[in-house]
Structure 1
Amino acid sequence: MLCPDWSLPGPLLALWPFRIDVWREQARPIQRQLTDFLVEVQAHHPVLMGVHPRELSRASRFLPTTIQTIPLRYNDAWPRDIGPVWTQTPSGIQAHDFQFSAWNGLYPNMAADQTFVRELSARFGWRRIAHQTILEGGAVNSNGAGVVCWSRSSIERNNGLNGASSVARSRIQQALEKTINATHHLWFNSTYAADETGGHVDNMAQFLTPEWLAIDTNVRQSDAAILAQLPTSIKILELPPTCSFQPSPGLFSSVQRRAGVMRRGSKPLLSSYVNFVRTPTAVFVPQFGRADDAEAVRLIRSAVPHLAVVPVAADEMIAGGGGPHCMTLPLPLLHRPA
C-alpha cells in the first residue's frame, strides 16, 4: 500500500537549493524562503535539510542551529521527485527507486539525482526496490486506504509513450498498478501548459485525509469522469483554481544561462494551492500573493478543523518550477544517526 504523507513519522526532508542556473540571485531568496518554511514546519513536526557536500559551509552559516542537516548528493532541490516512493508492507516500509529523467530533460546533469534514492536508503538502512520505469513522486499520491491518484500525461511523456499505442500505454499503467497495490486507481488526464513536469497530480489533486481529496477547481470539469470513479466515502474539497502567469522580464535576469538547462522565464509560472504539505498534525498551504490565498487557507481549515493549517510563502518556490510539496519528502523513522 502506498504511504500517504501523514503516515510517515520521520522528519520532513528538504534539500538546500544552490543551482545558479535555476534559482535567481545566487539562490539566496529561495534559501531564505525554504528555511522560513522549515521553521514553520518545525513547530509541528521534525525537519531535516539535506545539503550537498560542497555547500555545507555556506549552509551552516545561514541555517538556524535548530535545523538538523545531513550531507547528501543531488543536482537540484526537488526531493519529492528524485526521492523514494514509499509503500507499507507486513515486513515494514519499502523505498521504491524509480528512474529519473529530470522531467524529460529540463537539465542534462542528473547523475546525482539518479542515485539519490540509493544513497538515502543506504544511509538509513531502508530496503530499496529498483525499477526501470520513470516515476516522480509528484505524479502519484494515496489516501492510505486503497485509493491512488496518478498523472497519466506526465508518466506517459517521461516513459516515451507520447503517440504510442493504447496497448503500450496500458502496459505501463498495469505495471505501476501492480507495484502500487490499491483498490481504486484514478488516472488523471489534466495538465497545464505551464507545468514543467508534464502534468503532476500534486498540482491537480492531493489527498488531505483518507476521506478528503483536495482538487484544483478546474479538475471538476476537465476530469469529471475520473472523479466519478471515487468511492462514495471520499469527499471532494475544491480549492481556488491553479493559475499560470508570465513573470516580469527582469525576475530571472540574475539566473546564469547554461547549455541544456531550461531558461528560467521562458515559460509562465504555475501556482497551485493543491501543492500543499500535509504532516501528521498540520497542513502547510502555499501562498503566492494572489487574491485567493486566504480563501485557500479558509477552505482547508473548514475541512480539517482538527489540524493546524499554516499559510506559507511559495512565490520563490514556483519561480524554480515547483511548490512546497515538490520541495519536500516525508521520511520514515531514522533508524541510523545522520
Structure 2
Amino acid sequence: MNQPLIDSPPAGSSPRAQGFAMPAEFAPHDACWMLWPQRPDTWRYGAKPAQQAFVEVATAIAESEPVYVGVNDDQYENARHQLPPQVRVVEISSNDAWMRDVGPTFLTHPDGRLAVVDWQFNAWGGLDGGLYFPWDKDRRIRTKIAEMLGIPRFTVPVVLEGGAIHVDGEGTLLTTEECLLNPNRNPGMSREAMERVLRDTLGIERVIWLPRGCYLDETDGHVDNLCCFVAPGEVVLTWCDDEDDPQHAISREALAVLESTTDARGRKLRVHKLPQPGPLFIEEDEASGLDRLNSSHPRRPGDRMAGSYVNFYVGNSVVVMPLLDPAHDEQAHHILQGLFPGRRVMGVPAREILLGGGNIHCITQQQPKRQLP
C-alpha cells in the first residue's frame, strides 16, 4: 500500500528514488490551475455569486502568471464569457471546484522535468463524513492534466488532498494528525507508514505534525487553513486571542509544536501570527439559496465557518488573500505584505468562497516552473 506506482514514463521506483521532489509554493510558477463552481448544493443561487468571486481570484492571479480554469461542458460558454481573455478556459469535468484537493501535486526534477502525483480522493472522508457523492469526475482530473501537459504521473494508492500538506522546498512538510491520520482516509495506516509515503513521494526529510486544523474545518483539519510556510524556516499561523473561542486552544497547541521543533535543515522555526477573522457564521439568506441533497454536506443558518487568512495563494509577483472581515482585513494584509516584500498583496472579497467550505488556496493549484539545469 505504501509503495508509489507509476503509470507513465519514467518507469521504475518512487519519485524520490528518481530525483523528483515537491517544491515550495513560493518557488517560481509556470501557471495556476482552477476549476469553475456550479454545484447547487455547495454554491448558492446557482453559483452565480461564487462564480464572480472565482473570476476575481483568477483575474488577480493572472497578473502574475498564466491561469487555466477547468469547466464542465454545460458551463463552458458562461465561464468563457465571465473570465477575462487572458485566462484560458479548458474543458475538464469535475464534481466540484476544489482544485487544490482534486488537482495534481506537482513535482520537479533537477534536470528540469516535471511530474504529477495522482493521490486517491474520496471527497474528504468517503461515506464516513465525506462532503458529497459521487466524486468520479474529480478522480480523473489529475490524469487529464498530466496528459494535457505530457508529463509523467505517479499513482499513489493513498487518500490525500493537496490542502492537507505544505512544504518548504527544503525537505520539511507540515500537516495535521486530525486529517492525515483520520481513519476515514486510510484506515489502519500508522503515522510511520504515512511518513514513508510522504518521503518516498514528495522527496521530503521531516514531517512536522500539528495536532488539529482550524475549528470546524469540514476537511477534517487541512493544514493550509491553519499554518503554512512563507519562506524556509518561517511559517504563518492562524491566531485567536479569545480564550472562550475553541480556536484559541487549537492555535496554541500548534504554536507549542512549532516552537519546539526544527525543520529538515535543523533550523528553529520563526512563527508569524495572523489574526482569525470573525468568527464568521452562515446567514439565513445565504443558506436559503442552496439545494438540499442527502448526498452532500448540509450548510445551515448559524453554522460557523472555518474562516482563515492563511488560506491565500502565493503567485510569482502577487499574493492573493481573502477579504473576510472588515475588522481584521487590513491588519492581515499588512502582515502578509511584510512577509512578502517582493510581491504585491491583493485582497479579494472571498466570503462566497468560504460559504462553499474553503477559500483561495483551496480553489487554486500552482504548476511549478520547469527549471533547466
Question: What TM-score does the superposition give when structure 2 sets the normalisation length?
Answer: 0.83
Contact 2:261 2:269 in 1 (8 A): no
SS in 1 for 2:26: helix
Measured at CA, do residues 271 and 108 of structure 1 come closer, stay the same or move farther in structure 2, by a change above 3 Å? Answer: same
What's the offset of the Cα at 1:202? 0.4
- Deviation of residue 30 (structure 1)? 0.6
| 2:306 partner SS | strand
Tell me how far apart the structure 1 counterparts of residues 62 and 45 of structure 2 sit (CA, whole Å). 26
2:339 pairs, out of 285, 289, 303, with: 303
Partner in structure 2 of residue 239 of structure 1: 274
**Partners in 2 of 1:254 and 1:33 — Cα distance?**
16
My pick for the range that moved more, 267-276 or 320-329, is 267-276
- Report what 1:207 is aligned to: 229
The aligned runs of 1:324-335 (5 Å cut-off) are: 324-332=360-368
Q: Map Cα deviations across residues 161-204 of structure 1 (whole Å, 9 max, x no partner).
A: 4xx5xx83432233323322223211111223420100000011
**Match status 1:251 vs 2:286:** yes
Correspondence list, 1:69-84, <5 A? 69-84=89-104
Give 2:136's aligned residue. Answer: 111
Partner residue in 2 for 1:50: 70
Look up the equivalent residue of 2:261 and give its one-letter code: Q
Aligned equivalents of 1:192 and 1:63: distance in 2?
A: 32
- The farther-off stretch of 232-241 and 26-35 is 232-241
Letter in 1 for 2:119: F
- Counterpart CA distance in 1 for 2:109 and 2:227 is 25
Q: For the residues of structure 1 that align with 2:368 and 2:255, how far apart are their CA atoms?
A: 34
Equivalent residue, structure 1, for 2:168? 143
TM superposition shift of 1:4: 1.5
- Name the counterpart of 2:116: 95
Structure 2: distance between partners of 1:258 and 1:242: 29
User: Which residue, 328, 337, 352 being the options, matches 1:292?
Assistant: 328
Structure 1, unpaired ranges of 5+:
none
In 1, Cα distance between the equivalents of 2:42 and 2:54? 15
Structure-2 separation of matches of 1:97 and 1:46: 23
- For residue 319 of structure 1, the aligned residue among 345, 348, 355 is 355
Q: Deviations over 1:117-174 (max 9, x none)?
A: 011111111210001100100000111122211122112224244xx5xx83432233
Aligned to 1:226: 257
Q: How far, CA to CA, are the matches of 1:156 and 1:328 in structure 2?
A: 24
Q: Distance in 2 between matches of 1:62 and 1:200?
A: 30
Matched, 1:263 2:298: yes
Partner of 2:314: 278
Take 1:61 and 1:90, find their aligned partners in 2: how far apart are those partners?
40
* Contact 1:150-1:186 at 8 Å conserved across structures: yes
When the two chains are superposed, the root-mean-square deviation of aligned CA atoms in Å is 2.0
Q: Which ranges of structure 2 fall in alignment gaps of 5 or more residues?
A: 1-20, 240-247
* Aligned residue identity for 1:94: A
The alignment of Structure 1 onto Structure 2 pairs a total of residues equal to: 330
Identity of aligned residues (%): 27
